[in-house]
């Protein structure tokens, strides 16, 4: 069951602008009211007078707009009472009081309505003398007050649900929206102008304080800062307003000023702005306290130009202007304040008030007609139409409020009373709370469209909170042609707000008539790539540049894009940098590629040439097997260029690690094997006739292969090994092959193999060791015979290689940040190393093969050295002559040659290393047991070298017998060769070794020459020159000299040859 609620507590409040009133005498102001009797009485609260100063509730001045709104309520009640279709048989009455723009005074005035309801007479206890039913006389104070219509208790409109009136009255509705929406609309305007730093000025009281509170909260949420928030006291004077302007000027960056003030406060601020003579004007943005009032800015148009104001969207009520223009103090007796309004509008005094003014004028500050007092009597012909009257914008909402009550009551009467006309008992006793919820809040209509002909109006309805629809117009005060075609200052509608802002900024005029939107920001927006460093207010900052590699994460934070990324030009994000590697079209790739291609062609040409002449002495002497390994290593060196220049992948990175290491190991391992063999051959030959180990082709290949996979170097009896392939495999485990991104600087991303520079350096230490050892051996063998196989050229190769790598290392590490230069340097260094090896080692061979094929014979390739001496053959000649004749009888022709052959065999017994064969291809020295001595002979078929086998077992005479048949003997298995140039008259020759022998002897013609005997006498002697040519790889000069001396001993003492076979 609904609880019965007293009708006076049912309030319908509308949004009204500040209403002022002029009170003639304070006592009269407190007691005056508009009272019109009716079946149902609607209360009215309007600020007719301005707020008084100090303890005085009401001021002396009339608020013109308040009078219009009061008359609008009377006008609407008159219209409804004249209509039979709304409340037939029911008359509406009014009880209107003045609030004087004060909340507390308005609340006190509302108690009149409560007392009126409580003082209603209970007719059930009354009895009439004529026995008729008692009736209450219809007066405004006696009738039930269904509700109160009026403005806010403050001097400005009440539009917020948190206002005390809601707590004082249980049922509260209004035809206008709360100020919350107006505050949001103001924030939307601020944001549309891109303002982030504004100051606020608000009037003391609920209107200004709550309105600016909502504005501040909404602005803060939308990143708008409040530079200064200044309150205008209720009794503000010029000094207060001047102080406000000065304080606003201390925030020069906050050019936009938001005003949530009463009209008189807004005017006071404009006047103070004019007095301060601002060089840079403020941009005003005002609430509906300013709205579209012309009187507010009268005389202050220049200061107000460009102002933006908010006003509730409303329409003029048809007929109301005619109603107002028809009113005069004489015809409008029901409004006790209309006379004061009339006097203030026309600036005159009504004749009926002259006595009052003369009596009380000095107390309230009026001028009278005596002494200094004077007044103008109002003429009788005055009308409001001649005073510049304009319908106030809130009149519509007063009419809407009255019609809302009337239509809700009409629906209630229809539901409860049926066809019964007038106020039935059920309607009179109906629960007021139910009426509010079930009828009043459900009203929906268009007053102007339905009840005023030929006019369009907006819909009137309430939400669940009792608030009306929020519709605002955005006005721009400007100079120019108005809608009526007249020039001058006027308000122009430039936008609307209905849940969202729709504004035409391009049509607006700003402060002092400028077309450009003024800047109202504590700090200007930061340029792209800069962030805000907060200083004081949240909207005040200094701009700090992000680093080149950072992007703006938010307005306060720079964030590193990270390796491989770079910010966009606007610094709002990052993009992935292009991944660079050497392109084949780059000069850094073309140059090393061309060098490598030339090297590959040269290597293949040399290989083909050597293969074609593989059986020639030059090729065989260089070691064909090692040549294959060495040329393969050189070829891989050249091919490494293309692996290094290729786009890095896991496969190419694996090839790089193996390719560079293995190719160098192959080249320098083979060279080390060669130099080591040479050094060991000469070292062994100088100490003994025992052939050194591991000099055969198979051994050399094994050693070279071991050096590629495992370094195995022998120095005398010392062995040590370092795994190259194993080292590379371990390296791959520790540092897995693959690709990585290198960042020499933040703008570059280089795709490289996952090889650190120091790792690469350590991986080449083994090859550096091979180069170093090879160089040491090259130095050790530098003094061997000039024509010895490759020794000089290997030495030159190693010296040049060391120079190349000594220059390469600092260049490689010095260009670590220049990837292309580094790779190109590495490619060129590898190619140069291979080219030095190819040119230094094989150009002499190629030259001989191509241009001097006559030197490509076996003898020419042996490093000869010649030992010459002379021998006295007197004794051997006498011995031969003693037995020559006897041997001739036996058919044996005995010459000196058998003695020479036998002497050679006897000397070889002491020096067996000279009776040897050198297998150049196998690099093996074979010591022979049999002395198969060949004799160079001139025959009809040319020079032949038949041999006498097993000379060590033959006597001189047996050797002589063999000489008779030498032409029929073969030359195979000859171990030592003798040549006698003396038979044809020669005295001296340089014999050429017949491979595979290691030594050859030659004899000249025996000549009778003077010589000294043991006693110093000159005697004739048969002297023969002897020459020994030996292979310096096997035999040294001392050995040959000793052998020659022993041979001479046997020749000069032939009896030793005859005694022993």
What is the mean predicted confidence (pLDDT) over 1009-1029? 87
- Residue 126 confidence class, pLDDT cut points 50, 70, 90: low
Classify residue 301: in a domain, yes or no.
Answer: yes
CATH of the domain at 951: 3.30.559.10
Helix orientation angle between 64-82 and 338-346, rounded to the nearest 10 degrees = 130
Domain's final residue, options 423, 441, 461: 461
Does residue 148 sit in the same domain as residue 189? no
Whether the pLDDT of residue 122 is over 80: the answer is no
Domain range for 975 is 865-1059
- Residue 81 confidence class, pLDDT cut points 50, 70, 90: very high
Chain-wide mean pLDDT for the chain?
A: 79
Classify residue 100: in a domain, yes or no.
Answer: yes
Does residue 502 sit in the same domain as residue 561? no
Structure tokens at 430: 């109906």
Classify residue 521: in a domain, yes or no.
Answer: no
Among 109-113, 327-331, 826-830, the minimum mean pLDDT is found in 109-113
pLDDT at residue 953, rounded to an integer: 87
What is the mean predicted confidence (pLDDT) over 362-385? 64
Phi, psi (degrees; rounded to nearest 5) at 794: -65, -45
What is the mean predicted confidence (pLDDT) over 570-591? 88
pLDDT at residue 540, rounded to an integer: 84
pLDDT at residue 17, rounded to an integer: 29
More reliable by pLDDT, 490 or 970: 490
Does residue 748 sit in the same domain as residue 826? yes
Does residue 566 sit in the same domain as residue 651? no
Does residue 555 sit in the same domain as residue 681? no
pLDDT at residue 727, rounded to an integer: 63
CATH of the domain at 611: 1.20.1070.10
Q: How many domains does the chain have?
A: 6
Does residue 169 sit in the same domain as residue 184? no
Does residue 299 sit in the same domain as residue 376? no
Q: Which of 473-482, 531-540, 684-693, 979-988 has the highest mean pLDDT?
A: 473-482
Among 354-368, 977-991, 1044-1058, the minimum mean pLDDT is found in 354-368
Does residue 246 sit in the same domain as residue 356? no
In tens, the pLDDT along 709-729 reads 653 333 333 333 344 556 666
Whether the pLDDT of residue 124 is over 80: the answer is no
- Residue 926 confidence class, pLDDT cut points 50, 70, 90: confident
pLDDT at residue 996, rounded to an integer: 82
Classify residue 1: in a domain, yes or no.
Answer: no
Does residue 167 sit in the same domain as residue 104? yes
- Residue 192 confidence class, pLDDT cut points 50, 70, 90: very high
Residue pair 374/339 in contact (Cβ under 8 Å)? The answer is no
Classify residue 1031: in a domain, yes or no.
Answer: yes
In tens, the pLDDT along 601-648 reads 999 998 899 888 887 877 777 777 888 888 888 898 899 889 888 888
- Residue 784 confidence class, pLDDT cut points 50, 70, 90: low
What is the mean predicted confidence (pLDDT) over 6-16? 35
Classify residue 721: in a domain, yes or no.
Answer: yes
d(CA 234, CA 216): 21
Which has the closest alpha carbon to 430: 405, 413, 410? 413
Whether the pLDDT of residue 461 is over 60: the answer is yes
Does residue 347 sit in the same domain as residue 454? no
Does residue 646 sit in the same domain as residue 765? yes
CATH of the domain at 255: 3.40.50.2300
Classify residue 520: in a domain, yes or no.
Answer: no
- Residue 77 confidence class, pLDDT cut points 50, 70, 90: very high
CATH of the domain at 563: 2.10.50.30
Q: Which of 23-32, 129-138, 660-669, 920-929 has the highest mean pLDDT?
A: 660-669
In tens, the pLDDT along 866-897 reads 999 999 988 888 888 888 888 787 777 888 88
Domain's final residue, options 556, 577, 598: 577
Whether the pLDDT of residue 183 is over 70: the answer is yes
Whether the pLDDT of residue 680 is over 60: the answer is yes
Whether the pLDDT of residue 369 is over 50: the answer is no
What secondary structure does DSSP assign to 775-801, as a single string? HHHHHHTTTS-TTSTTHHHHHHHHHHH
Classify residue 702: in a domain, yes or no.
Answer: yes
Q: How far is CA 655 from CA 522, 576, 723, in A?
A: 64, 29, 18
C-alpha angle 320-323-326 in degrees, rounded to nearest 5: 150
d(CA 1027, CA 508): 125
pLDDT at residue 725, rounded to an integer: 59
Domain's final residue, options 577, 595, 616: 577
90 Ramachandran zone, left/alpha/beta (phi>0; psi -120 to 50): beta
Phi, psi (degrees; rounded to nearest 5) at 346: -95, -5
Whether the pLDDT of residue 239 is over 90: the answer is yes
pLDDT at residue 240, rounded to an integer: 94
More reliable by pLDDT, 318 or 12: 318
| 683-691, long-range: CB < 8 A, 24+ apart | 685/913, 685/1033, 685/1034, 685/1035, 685/1036, 686/1036, 689/911, 689/912, 689/913, 689/916, 689/927, 691/924, 691/925, 691/926, 691/927
Does residue 535 sit in the same domain as residue 504? no
Percent of the chain residues topping a pLDDT of 70: 79
- Residue 567 confidence class, pLDDT cut points 50, 70, 90: very high
pLDDT at residue 199, rounded to an integer: 94
- Residue 1029's DSSP bridge partners are 866, 1000
Which has the closest alpha carbon to 308: 520, 511, 16, 516? 511
Helix (H) or strand (E) holding 1001: strand 999-1003
């Amino acid at each position: 069951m609904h609880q019965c609620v007293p009708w006076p507590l049912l309030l319908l409040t509308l949004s009204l602008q500040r209403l002022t009133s002029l009170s003639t005498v304070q006592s009269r102001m407190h007691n005056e009211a508009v009272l019109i009797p009716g079946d149902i009485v609607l209360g009215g609260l309007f600020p007719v007078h301005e707020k008084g100063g100090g303890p005085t509730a009401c001021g002396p001045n009339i608020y013109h707009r308040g009078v219009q709104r009061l008359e609008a309520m009377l006008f609407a009640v008159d219209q409804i009472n004249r209509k039979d279709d709304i409340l037939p048989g029911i008359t509406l009455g009014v009880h209107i009081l003045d609030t004087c723009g004060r909340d507390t005074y308005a609340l006190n005035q509302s108690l009149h309505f409560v007392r009126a309801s409580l003082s209603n007479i209970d007719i059930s206890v009354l009895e009439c003398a004529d026995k008729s039913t008692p009736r209450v006389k219809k007066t405004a104070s006696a009738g039930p007050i269904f509700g109160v219509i009026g403005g806010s208790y403050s001097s400005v409109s009440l539009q917020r649900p948190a206002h005390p009136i809601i707590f004082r009255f249980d049922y509260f509705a209004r035809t206008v929206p709360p100020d919350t929406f107006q505050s949001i609309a103001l924030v939307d305007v601020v944001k549309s102008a891109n303002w982030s730093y504004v100051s606020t000025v608000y009037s003391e009281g609920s209107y200004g304080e709550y309105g600016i509170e909502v504005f501040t909260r909404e602005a803060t949420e939308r990143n708008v800062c409040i530079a200064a928030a200044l309150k205008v006291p209720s009794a503000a004077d010029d000094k207060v307003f001047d102080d406000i302007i000065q304080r606003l000027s201390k925030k020069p960056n906050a050019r936009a000023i938001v005003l949530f003030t009463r009209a008189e406060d807004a005017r006071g601020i404009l006047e103070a702005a004019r007095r301060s003579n601002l060089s840079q004007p403020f941009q005003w943005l005002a609430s509906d306290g300013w709205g579209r009032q012309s009187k507010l800015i009268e005389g202050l148009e220049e200061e107000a130009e460009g102002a933006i104001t908010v006003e509730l969207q409303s329409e003029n009520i048809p007929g109301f202007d005619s109603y107002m223009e028809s009113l005069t103090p004489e015809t409008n007796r029901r409004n006790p304040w209309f006379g004061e309004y009339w006097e203030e509008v026309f600036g005159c005094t009504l004749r009926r008030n002259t006595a009052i003014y003369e009596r009380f004028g000095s107390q309230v500050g009026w001028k009278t007609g005596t002494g200094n007092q004077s007044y103008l009597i109002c003429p009788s012909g005055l009308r409001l139409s001649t005073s510049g009257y304009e319908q106030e914008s809130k009149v519509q909402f007063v009419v809407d409020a009255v019609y809302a009550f009337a239509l809700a009551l009409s629906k209630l009467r229809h539901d409860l009373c049926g066809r019964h006309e007038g106020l039935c008992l059920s309607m009179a006793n109906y629960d007021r709370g139910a009426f509010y919820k079930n009828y009043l809040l459900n009203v929906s209509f268009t007053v102007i469209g339905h009840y005023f002909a030929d006019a369009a109006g907006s819909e009137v309805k309430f939400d669940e909170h009792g608030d009306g629809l929020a519709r605002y117009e955005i006005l721009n005060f400007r100079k120019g042609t108005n809608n009526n075609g007249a020039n001058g200052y006027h308000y122009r509608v430039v936008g609307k707000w209905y849940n969202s802002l729709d504004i035409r900024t391009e049509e607006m005029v700003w402060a002092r008539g400028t077309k450009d939107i003024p800047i109202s920001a504590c700090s200007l927006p930061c340029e792209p790539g800069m962030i805000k460093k907060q200083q004081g207010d949240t909207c005040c900052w200094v701009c700090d540049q992000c680093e080149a590699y950072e992007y703006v994460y938010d307005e306060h934070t720079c964030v590193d894009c990270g390796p491989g990324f770079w910010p966009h030009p606007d610094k709002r994000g990052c993009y992935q940098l292009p991944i660079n590697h050497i392109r084949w079209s780059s000069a850094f790739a073309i140059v090393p590629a061309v060098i490598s291609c030339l090297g590959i062609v040269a290597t293949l040409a040399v290989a083909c040439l050597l293969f074609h002449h593989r059986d020639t002495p030059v090729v065989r002497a260089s070691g064909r097997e090692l040549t294959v390994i060495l040329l393969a290593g050189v070829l891989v060196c050249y091919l490494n260029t293309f692996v290094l220049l290729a786009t890095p992948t896991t496969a190419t990175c694996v090839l790089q690690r193996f390719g560079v290491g293995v190719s160098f190991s192959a080249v320098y391992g083979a060279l080390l094997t060669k130099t080591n063999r040479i050094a060991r051959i000469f070292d062994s030959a100088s100490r003994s006739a025992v052939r050194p180990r591991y000099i055969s082709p198979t051994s050399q290949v094994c050693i070279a292969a071991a050096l590629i996979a495992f370094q195995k170097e022998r120095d005398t009896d010392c062995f040590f090994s370092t795994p190259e392939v194993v080292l590379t495999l371990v390296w791959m485990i520790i540092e897995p092959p693959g690709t990585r991104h290198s960042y020499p600087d933040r703008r570059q991303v280089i795709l490289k193999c996952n090889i650190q520079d120091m790792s690469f350096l350590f991986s080449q230490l083994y090859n550096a060791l091979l180069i170093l050892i090879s160089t040491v051996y090259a130095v050790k063998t530098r003094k061997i015979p000039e024509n010895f196989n490759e020794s000089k050229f290997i030495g030159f190769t190693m010296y040049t290689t060391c120079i190349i790598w000594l220059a390469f290392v600092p260049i490689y590490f010095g260009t670590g940040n220049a990837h292309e230069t580094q790779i190109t340097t590495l490619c060129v260094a590898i190619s140069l190393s291979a080219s030095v090896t190819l040119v230094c080692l094989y150009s002499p061979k190629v030259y001989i093969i191509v241009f001097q094929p006559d030197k490509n014979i076996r003898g020419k390739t042996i490093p000869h050295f010649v030992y010459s001496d002379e021998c006295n053959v007197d004794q051997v000649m006498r011995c031969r002559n003693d037995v020559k004749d006897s041997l001739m009888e036996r058919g044996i022709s005995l010459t000196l040659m058998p003695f020479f052959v036998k002497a050679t065999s006897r000397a070889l017994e002491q020096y067996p290393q000279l009776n040897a064969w050198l297998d150049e291809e196998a690099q093996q020295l074979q010591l022979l047991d049999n002395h198969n001595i060949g004799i160079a002979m001139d025959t009809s078929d040319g020079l032949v070298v038949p041999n006498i086998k097993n000379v060590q077992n033959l006597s001189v005479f047996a050797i002589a017998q063999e000489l008779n048949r030498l032409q029929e003997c073969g030359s195979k298995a000859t171990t030592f060769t003798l040549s006698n140039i003396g038979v044809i008259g020669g005295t001296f020759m340089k014999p050429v070794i017949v491979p595979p022998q290691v030594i050859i002897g030659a004899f000249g013609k025996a000549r009778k020459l003077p010589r000294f005997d043991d006693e110093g006498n000159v005697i004739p002697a048969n002297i023969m020159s002897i020459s020994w040519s030996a292979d310096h790889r096997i035999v040294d000069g001392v050995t040959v000299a000793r052998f020659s001396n022993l041979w001479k001993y046997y020749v000069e003492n032939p009896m030793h040859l005859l005694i022993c076979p």
